[in-house]
């Protein structure tokens, strides 16, 4: 397909994003193709490891291409989004549980759906241009694609902070927060990839000392608050107007649900549990949340002025995260 270059080279299976003009945004078709390719290579003796990278300097993958989901949702078709998230999440889990090493080289923007591809790889390489984020609260969604699984395992209250603010992490912060493993100057990546193709040995990746991690020393104790209101009160008391400005801009419902999801994921034993819980929200997103308005304001009209109207009460959050019955995201063959 035009959006991915899938091939075998030496001992490596190669998956390269090839739509740099769209910041390598992930379409539904791309998600299904990645999953199918991993299935094909699972028992292929010629493939010792898988390398996922991207063309262009600006982005590894800037997120999911949700234009079709938006258009369908406006017309009352909620199945388009449900199908996209269903297939994307199963692909995310396949990456996380893959029996062979997967190495992701993540330059530039790595956001949302990009984290769902690169963030669950067994070997995650970042460089000087890397900017990783889960900015879904700004478009009326929640950290999904297994994002709550990663956020829940970040040190301290970093998970809550990133979920509510959508703040971007450079290489140092990404490694500290558990979203990446190794830092290498991007000029060295081609030689490393060539070596991986020749040897099929992911243990040969040796990172160098990463840049500083500002999050490691930042006081995020306010994000230990019971709910978003308590977090905002603590930030007001601390005089952190910069962070408050971000929280005022994001969807109240998305922040409340994201907070609940990150904390629930701390008790999960496997990523599938987190993905299934995320799916409960995204299954209902085009019908019952701020998602369509957020996409309109940030990605379609780009007026950056969303009119958040969705109910952000604890009762509504609980309803959005309630089991879906026969529509739950199931994992029988991946259990």
Instruction: Quote the CA–CA distance of 58 and 23 in Å, as a whole number.
Output: 7
- Cβ(310)–Cβ(290) under 8 Å? yes
Catalytic residue among 13, 113, 114, 147: 113
Instruction: Estimate to the nearest angstrom the gap between the alpha carbon of 296 and the chain centroid.
Output: 20
Instruction: Estimate to the nearest angstrom the gap between the alpha carbon of 319 and the chain centroid.
Output: 23
Catalytic residue among 53, 88, 144, 197: 144
- Mark whether 113 is an active-site residue: yes
Residues ≥6 apart with Cβ < 8 Å to 15: 4, 5, 6, 34, 37, 50, 51, 52, 53
Phi, psi (5° rounding) for residue 64?
-80, 140
Count of CA atoms in the C-beta half-sphere (13 A) of 294: 26
Catalytic residue among 13, 63, 64, 166: 64
Residue with tokens 């060295």: 188
- Mark whether 136 is an active-site residue: yes
Rg (CA), the chain: 19
- Mark whether 144 is an active-site residue: yes
Catalytic residue among 65, 80, 136, 290: 136
Residue with tokens 């009460």: 313
Write out the catalytic residue numbers.
64, 113, 136, 144
């Amino acid at each position: 397909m035009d959006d991915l270059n899938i091939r075998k080279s030496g001992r490596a299976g190669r998956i390269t994003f090839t739509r740099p003009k769209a910041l390598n945004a992930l379409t539904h078709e791309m998600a299904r193709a990645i999953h199918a390719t991993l299935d094909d290579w699972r028992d292929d003796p010629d493939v010792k490891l898988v390398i996922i990278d991207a063309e262009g300097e600006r982005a590894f993958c800037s997120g999911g291409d949700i234009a079709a989901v938006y258009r369908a949702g406006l017309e009352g078709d909620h199945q388009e989004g449900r199908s996209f998230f269903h297939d994307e999440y199963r692909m995310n889990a396949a990456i996380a549980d893959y029996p062979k090493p997967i190495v992701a080289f993540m330059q530039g923007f790595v956001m949302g759906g990009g984290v769902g591809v690169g963030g669950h790889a067994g070997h995650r390489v970042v460089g000087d241009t890397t900017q990783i984020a889960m900015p879904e609260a700004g478009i009326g969604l929640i950290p999904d694609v297994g994002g709550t699984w990663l956020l829940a395992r970040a040190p301290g209250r970093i998970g809550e902070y990133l979920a509510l603010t959508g703040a971007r992490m450079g290489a140092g912060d990404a490694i500290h927060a558990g979203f990446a493993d190794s830092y290498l100057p991007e000029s060295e990546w081609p030689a490393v990839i060539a070596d991986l193709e020749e040897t099929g040995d992911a243990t040969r990746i040796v990172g160098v000392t990463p840049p500083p991690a500002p999050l490691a020393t930042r006081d995020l104790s306010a994000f230990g608050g019971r709910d978003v209101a308590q977090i905002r009160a603590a930030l007001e008391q601390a005089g952190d107007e910069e962070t408050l400005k971000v929280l005022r801009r994001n969807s109240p419902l998305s922040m409340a649900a994201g907070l609940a999801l990150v904390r629930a994921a701390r008790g999960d034993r496997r990523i599938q549990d987190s993905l299934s819980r995320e799916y409960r929200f995204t299954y209902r997103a085009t019908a019952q949340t701020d998602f369509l308005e957020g996409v309109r304001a940030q990605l379609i009209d780009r007026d950056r002025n969303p009119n958040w109207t969705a109910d952000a009460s604890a009762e509504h959050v609980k309803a959005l995260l309630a089991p879906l019955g026969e529509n739950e995201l199931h994992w029988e063959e991946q259990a």
